Structure 1
């Protein structure tokens, strides 16, 4: 149930995108690419909905796990080995309706190039879903754990890192994500905060009333202040 509180906002946004895109194209299924999709946490459920899903990931082990997961679920998901920046070399231009770029920009060598590559494979009117770690939330989490110097470092560092041992190479504010998308030729649409409270509430409280926590997350996701302190920034943008 803990996963549900962390993913509900993203899935609600994706379901709305899928419905709108199918209505606009008149097709009952869409062509979707999950860049950096790993073992298929989003790809397999999307395939179960009847969509044609391709996962592009640099890790052979993740793609093997994806294949097993899809087989166990009884769906077909295509796996391609490569980086997000390679999308233009792996897929035809203008061949995709939706690109997921979840927890990818933090790790790719060139985030701007990755989004440009995503734009290149999208059809006109296609959509990108970007999910990225937020430095403001990281500063809050470090402070709550008593690491005040690291919290200060996050806010001072241009990449939003708390130190040399930080496993995340970079983090993005809402303004940074939307700015990158605009430069890549996208029109920014909905912006949500993901995991505003879910990562702050103790497990015993979250498990005591998960439905209420999910409802709180749904309301907080679009709040003009709370969304900017969420663990992740979620942006829907259009080609």
Structure 2
């Protein structure tokens, strides 16, 4: 997914431009830190105290220049209008958050308002069009049949989460002034893979296969997750 995001940033902004980035639901700060290391000014929003502590610990170990380029705010992302003026950011990330939001439209509209004209909105969501794939591949036939008629699934912790259908989310992005520019699949082949990292040689090939599938039809349409990129008009 980092490669997909870098591709979109490189194709939209001048080389070397220091971007203003907002990462909503940044978790432990992996993407935020990566972008701060690349020279961008990053603001991370997170509501979970454990995640905030982990992100701050990771940031504390960085060189001073990187620490100065990143700030962390305790927030669930629904109060962006309180913290920032409209158009304050060139890139807004919202990865793995919408699945935990029952009514995502107000959050999405708020994120779009944060974007400057031409800014990039990057969303990572559960793929509501492919929920039957995972139980089907595991031979859980009753769950596979039930998944055709729902947009609710279980995450890795067993929590019920909401999935988004691409057509519906595409319409939402158009309605908030950040129409879909491109989209990718994430975890096409590896969603049911065993836990634990593969060796370096296997990982390189695995990532190449996933990256290729994530941009190629029909494979990307059955990915466990969708990475959608909208652009502010």
The alignment's TM-score, normalised by the length of structure 1, stands at 0.85
8 A Cα contact 1:174 1:228, kept in partner: no
8 A Cα contact 1:142 1:150, kept in partner: yes
8 A Cα contact 1:196 1:229, kept in partner: yes
**What is the aligned counterpart of 2:98 among 102, 105, 109?**
105
Counterpart of 1:186 in structure 2 is: 178
Counterpart of 2:35 in structure 1 is: 46
Counterpart of 2:206 in structure 1 is: 213
Counterpart of 1:19 in structure 2 is: 10
Gaps of 5+ in 2: none
* 2:110 is equivalent to residue 117 of structure 1: yes
- The Cα offsets for residues 65-92 of structure 1, whole Å up to 9 and x where unpaired, read as 2111111123222111112221122212
Q: Find the aligned partners of 1:154 and 1:172 in 2 and give their Cα distance.
A: 13
Q: Report the Cα offset of residue 46 of structure 1.
A: 0.7
8 A Cα contact 2:185 2:224, kept in partner: yes
User: Taking structure 1 as reference, are residues 79 and 147 closer, same or farther at Cα in structure 2, changes over 3 Å only?
Assistant: same
Q: In proportion to residue count, which structure has more helix? A: 1
Q: Within 5 Å, give how 1:1-239 maps onto structure 2.
A: 10-23=1-14, 28-74=17-63, 75-76=66-67, 77-157=70-150, 159-161=151-153, 167-201=159-193, 207=199, 209-239=202-232
Gaps of 5+ in 1: 1-9
Q: Find the aligned partners of 2:132 and 2:117 in 1 and give their Cα distance.
A: 38
Q: Report the Cα offset of residue 141 of structure 1.
A: 1.4
Q: Find the aligned partners of 1:109 and 1:156 in 2 and give their Cα distance.
A: 18
8 A Cα contact 1:31 1:98, kept in partner: yes
CA RMSD of aligned residues (A): 2.4
Q: Find the aligned partners of 1:140 and 1:93 in 2 and give their Cα distance.
A: 40
Equivalences, count: 226
Q: Which moved further from structure 2: 97-106 or 138-147?
A: 138-147
Give 3-state SS (helix, strand or coil) of 1:213's partner: helix
User: Taking structure 1 as reference, are residues 109 and 212 closer, same or farther at Cα in structure 2, changes over 3 Å only?
Assistant: same
Q: Find the aligned partners of 1:219 and 1:148 in 2 and give their Cα distance.
A: 29
Q: Report the Cα offset of residue 147 of structure 1.
A: 2.2
Q: Find the aligned partners of 2:162 and 2:36 in 1 and give their Cα distance.
A: 31
8 A Cα contact 1:21 1:97, kept in partner: no
Q: Find the aligned partners of 1:181 and 1:116 in 2 and give their Cα distance.
A: 8
